[in-house]
Amino acid sequence: EPEVTQTPSHQVTQMGQEVILRCVPISNHLYFYWYRQILGQKVEFLVSFYNNEISEKSEIFDDQFSVERPDGSNFTLKIRSTKLEDSAMYFCARGGDTHEQFFGPGTRLTVL
Amino acid sequence: ELKVEQNPLFLSMQEGKNYTIYCNYSTTSDRLYWYRQDPGKSLESLFVLLSNGAVKQEGRLMASLDTKARLSTLHITAAVHDLSATYFCAGETSGSRLTFGEGTQLTVNP
C-alpha cells in the first residue's frame, strides 16, 4: 500500500502554463517533501514542509514554485509558468517519526 | 554542502556473483539511506543507517556505514535477475533534506 498517492500520474502542458501537482497522504503526517528527477538523472530535493510551513528549500525552488496544503490534507506543488527544463518526474515523499522518507508513485510532467 | 558520489555508475554482473556498490559523501550526514528504483517507477526504501558501524541486511542485500571514512556500501550476495534496478544512496542533512548520489544501474544477467 503506497504511503502517499499522487495525481495526476502524467501531465502534459504547454510552456508558460501553470501546473498543480497533488500529493495525498494515506494518513496524517506532518513532514512532506517534493523531489524531482529529470529523465535518467539523479533525484533532486526541492522543498520540505513541516506543520504547514516550508522548512527548507533548494536553489531549484525559485519564485516559479510554491507549495501549500490548502485543505489540511492534499499537499500541492504549483509551477506558475512552466519551462521546457521543468519536464521531469516529481515525487512527493512523506516523513515520519523516524525521519525515513517514503516516496509516492510520482507525476511525470512533460512541458512542450 | 553535502555531496554524494556513487561508484560504479553502471554494473553488469552474472547471476550468482557477489559485488559491492560504494557511496562516498563529503561532509557529516545525519543518516544514510539506500533506495531502489525500477525503470519508470518510484523509489523504494531499502535501508536507513543511523550510526557508525551500522550494518543491515535484507535478503541478498547488506548495507553498512563507516562515518569516519564517510563511506557506505551496498553488498550484493549471489545476485539474481530480480535485483536488476538502479540503486541510490542518499545522505541526510539537517531539516531532513536528502542529497542523492547519481545512482548505480545494476543489470544481473542469467
B69-110: per-residue pLDDT in tens? 999 999 999 999 999 999 999 998 876 789 999 999 999 998
pLDDT, chain B, mean? 93
Q: What is the identity of the amino acid at B103?
A: G
Residue of B nearest to A41 (CA): B102
Decide if B108 contacts B44 (C-beta within 8 A).
Answer: no
DSSP summary character for residue B83: G
How far apart, in whole angstroms, are the C-alpha atoms of residue B87 and residue B105?
Answer: 6
Q: What is the identity of the amino acid at A5?
A: T
Q: Which residues touch A85 (CB under 8 Å, ≥6 apart)? A: A38, A111
Question: Is B105 part of any domain?
Answer: no
DSSP summary character for residue A79: E
**Which residues does chain A have within 8 Å of residue B48's beta carbon, measured at their own beta carbons?**
98, 100
Flag if A100 and B97 touch (Cβ within 8 Å).
no
Question: Which CATH number covers residue B72?
Answer: 2.60.40.10
Mean pLDDT over A17-39 rounds to 88
**Angle subtended at Cα A77 by Cα A71 and Cα A81, rounded to the nearest 5 degrees:** 125
Flag if B100 and A104 touch (Cβ within 8 Å).
no
pLDDT at A2 over 60: no
Is A38 in a helix, a strand, or coil?
Answer: coil
Question: Is B33 part of any domain?
Answer: yes
pLDDT in tens, A64-81: 999 988 777 788 999 999
**Angle subtended at Cα A24 by Cα A23 and Cα A30, rounded to the nearest 5 degrees:** 90
Identify the sign of the CA torsion A102, B63, A55, A95.
Answer: positive
Question: Is B101 part of any domain?
Answer: no
Q: What pLDDT sits at residue A100?
A: 82
Flag if B42 and A104 touch (Cβ within 8 Å).
yes
The domain ranges of chain A are 4-95
Q: Give the best residue of A50, A54, A103, A108 to mutate against chain B (max B CB count within 10 A).
A: A103
Number of domains in chain B: 1
CATH class of A4-95: mainly beta
Tell which residue, B22, B21, B48, B20, has the closest CA to residue B34: B48
A5 at B interface, C-beta within 8 A: no
What is the residue range of B33's domain? 4-95
Q: What pLDDT sits at residue A72?
A: 73
